[in-house]
Amino acid sequence: MKILAIESSCDETAAAVVEDGTTVLSSIIHSQIAEHKQFGGVVPEIASRRHCENILDVVKRALAEGDCSLEKIDAIAVTYAPGLIGALLVGVNFAKGLSLASGLPLIPVHHIAGHIAANYIAHPTLEPPYLCLVASGGHSHIVEVLSYTKFKVIGRTRDDAAGECFDKVARVLGFPYPGGMHIDNASKIGYNLSYNLPSPKVTGSEFDFSFSGLKTAVINIVHNSEQKGIEIDKNGLAASFQKTVCDILVSKTISAANMLGYSKIALAGGVSANSGLRQAMEDACKSENKELYIPPVSLCGDNAAMIGCQGYYDFLAGKSATSDLNAIATLSLENM
């Protein structure tokens, strides 16, 4: 079964052709980062306008590179939630128009489920149930993946998402947007115990995260140093910050896996590209005797191949939409 998948939830216009869930025939990503960079973050209206301008070309390229005409496609999958509403609407309406004109079934896909599904492309032997740490620009979740289409979120951030925290800390350290990758690179040079940073405590749910206190601690160090005319060790601070975030993400995921009896752990989302997180999770899984699944860096960030993969499993589970499909800015993975 060949699925044409479309993703436009944030600042990447993406389309892909995916066969039987895991064979990626083409994956085209048009990134808007260069334009948003000058504003220090994604400007929602600009994102929507660029999706409008680029979506037709991106879809045409995905079909051409997948050596497919629309006649060879069996269904259209599209990200409908969560994300920037204006951005999502472009992909959703494009997919609805294409579905109406072609008669092909339309499959609405949850963006976070898509990030998790990137693991099936990279590791076709991976099967639910397993535990997944999802860390992206907008979400930090510990998720019980009960089946390909059923999820239970057992931990979430109370404030900033991990990626958001990386980006804000990067900004105060003078790195361009999106800063996660720059913190990652600086961490390879800096000493990760240069600064003593707090690991914020969260009361109530033991698997919830809180990153805003850590972010504020880094901002305070930078501002205090500026006021006193002391030069900060930028690489050391980046490395200390990254280590603190990774320690929190890894320790909560491992203790959740132990408590709930999961032997398989997966990573998903843009932050799972982080080399420190990948290494720390690998080390922890080795010592705790867990199997670890991580997507290649190319599938960690936003792409449409992961939407085609999840769309396949959603379709097999009987999920499809009609022409009244709408985009939803905030929607729990449990209610997709």
| Nearest CB to ligand KG4, comparing residues 52 and 297 | 297
Residues numbered 301 to 320 that lie near Zn ion (CB under 5 A) are 302
Q: Which does 167 bind (CB under 5 to 8 A by kind): ligand KG4, Zn ion, none?
A: ligand KG4
Per-position x/- string for 148-167, each x denoting binding to ligand KG4 as judged by CB under 6 A, each - no binding: ---------------x--xx
Q: Quick count: other Cβ atoms within 10 Å of Cβ 214?
A: 22
**249 in contact with ligand KG4 (CB under 6 A):** no
| Nearest CB to ligand KG4, comparing residues 121 and 271 | 271
Residue 103, Ramachandran bin (φ over 0: left; ψ between -120 and 50: alpha; else beta): left
Cα 216 from Cα 70, distance rounded (Å): 50
Residues contacting residue 272 through CB under 8 Å, at least 6 positions apart: 133, 135, 278, 294, 295, 300
Q: Which does 181 bind (CB under 5 to 8 A by kind): Zn ion, ligand KG4, none?
A: ligand KG4
| Nearest CB to ligand KG4, comparing residues 167 and 314 | 167
Q: Quick count: other Cβ atoms within 10 Å of Cβ 199?
A: 13
**271 in contact with ligand KG4 (CB under 6 A):** yes
Cα 35 from Cα 224, distance rounded (Å): 32
Show the beta-strand stretches assigned E in 12-119.
Answer: 12-19, 23-31, 75-81, 106-110
Q: Which does 273 bind (CB under 5 to 8 A by kind): ligand KG4, Zn ion, none?
A: ligand KG4
Torsion of CA 2, 149, 264, 162, to 10 degrees: 100
**157 in contact with Zn ion (CB under 5 A):** no
Structure letter (DSSP) for residue 188: T
CB of 333 to Zn ion, least distance (A): 13
| Nearest CB to Zn ion, comparing residues 219 and 329 | 329
Near ligand KG4 by CB under 6 A: residue from 21, 180, 190, 200: 180
**200 in contact with ligand KG4 (CB under 6 A):** no
**136 in contact with Zn ion (CB under 5 A):** yes
**11 in contact with Zn ion (CB under 5 A):** no
| Nearest CB to ligand KG4, comparing residues 63 and 327 | 327
Determine phi and psi for 36, rounding to 5 degrees.
-75, -25
Q: How far apart are the first and last CA of the chain?
A: 22
Q: Which amino acid, one-letter code, is at 113?
A: A
CB of 53 to ligand KG4, least distance (A): 21
Q: How far is CA 279 from the centre of its chain?
A: 18
**270 in contact with ligand KG4 (CB under 6 A):** yes
**187 in contact with ligand KG4 (CB under 6 A):** no
Cα 112 from Cα 315, distance rounded (Å): 17
Cα 121 from Cα 312, distance rounded (Å): 12
**119 in contact with Zn ion (CB under 5 A):** no
Cβ distance 266 to 126 under 8 Å? yes
Instruction: Compute and round to an integer the Cα radius of gyration of the chain.
Output: 20
Choose the stretch contacting Zn ion; rule: CB under 5 A; options: 90-98, 197-205, 275-283, 300-308: 300-308
CB of 167 to ligand KG4, least distance (A): 5
Interaction site with Zn ion (CB under 5 A): 136, 302
Interaction site with ligand KG4 (CB under 6 A): 10, 136-138, 163, 166-167, 178-181, 184, 269-271, 273-274, 301-302
